[in-house]
């Protein structure tokens, strides 16, 4: 078990470009979550999947954001036409949702800087 893996770890992009982040959850975890965190703040929920189904999306997730989990394993988060306000750390988390009270594990995060 290698934990939750995210890449790239850092991305600097010009405003207007598209970026994609990948998350590989812990292999037996059926639930996968994306959060966004800006400096000095707590994470904010973006969306989550149970297996391949995207079950909920936050109002924060504008139509420039899209997330997929095509085979119920890894997930991607794409941001189109990036804006400076998108600069943040994007965190992925996974958990075995089959039981209550399990630990939610977070990846190392993907830092996005839009210039």
Partner 1 sequence: ELKVEQNPLFLSMQEGKNYTIYCNYSTTSDRLYWYRQDPGKSLESLFVLLSNGAVKQEGRLMASLDTKARLSTLHITAAVHDLSATYFCAAEMDSNYQLIWGAGTKLIIKP
Binding site for partner 1 (CB under 8 A): 31, 33, 35, 40-45, 48, 55-56, 91, 93, 95, 97, 100-109
Nearer to partner 1, 5 or 80 (CB): 5
Q: What are phi and psi of 31, to 5 degrees?
A: -110, 140
CB of 46 to partner 1, least distance (A): 10
How many residues in the chain? 115
Task: Work out how close the CB of 101 gets to partner 1 at its nearest, in angstroms, rounded to a whole number.
Answer: 5
Distance of CA 97 to the CA centre of its chain: 17
Give the C-alpha separation, 54 to 67, whole Å: 8
């Amino acid at each position: 078990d290698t934990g939750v893996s995210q890449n790239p770890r850092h991305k600097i992009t010009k405003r207007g470009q598209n970026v994609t982040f990948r998350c590989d959850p812990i292999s037996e975890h059926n639930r996968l979550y994306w959060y966004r965190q800006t400096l000095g703040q707590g994470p904010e929920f973006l969306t989550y999947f149970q297996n391949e189904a995207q079950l909920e999306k936050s109002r924060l997730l504008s139509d420039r954001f899209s997330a997929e989990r095509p085979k119920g394993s890894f997930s991607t988060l794409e941001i189109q036409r990036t804006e400076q306000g998108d600069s943040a750390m994007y965190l992925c988390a996974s958990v075995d949702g089959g039981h209550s009270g399990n630990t939610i594990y977070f990846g190392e995060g993907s830092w996005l800087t839009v210039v």
